[in-house]
Amino acid sequence: MKFKVDPLGENSTEAQRVAHKEVKKKDYKELFITHQCLNPIFFERVDDILSSKEARDILEKAYANMNNVKKARLRTHKRRYELLQKK
């Protein structure tokens, strides 16, 4: 789910307020579920965030960096293995 909660204008109608309330409720629910699924390391990064979109953006960057680190470690281990084979 991807929700972005835009602020309401001062001249909003009752229907717009009800729709905004529903979107905000879904956003909080998504954020709650995200918090429940995270390990403590990543939870610390998003525990004070109030928007699911902000949390998602932070986590996307964090996990992208982790994948790069994992790939680098894998290459290092592969190279060490190749060097052992040559000995």
Q: What does the pLDDT read at residue 3?
A: 52
What's the total number of domains in the chain?
1
Q: Is residue 2 part of a domain?
A: no
Q: Report whether 56 contacts 2 (CB < 8 A).
A: yes
Q: Is residue 51 part of a domain?
A: yes
State the residue for tokens 């939870």: 43
CA 38/CA 59 separation, integer angstroms: 10
1 confidence band (pLDDT: 50, 70, 90): very low
On the question of pLDDT at 76 being above 80, the answer is: yes
pLDDT digits over 53-75, tens only?
888 888 888 877 777 777 888 88
48 confidence band (pLDDT: 50, 70, 90): confident
Q: Is residue 9 part of a domain?
A: no
Domain, as residue range, for 27? 14-86
Q: Write down the number of H helices and E strands in the chain.
A: 3, 0
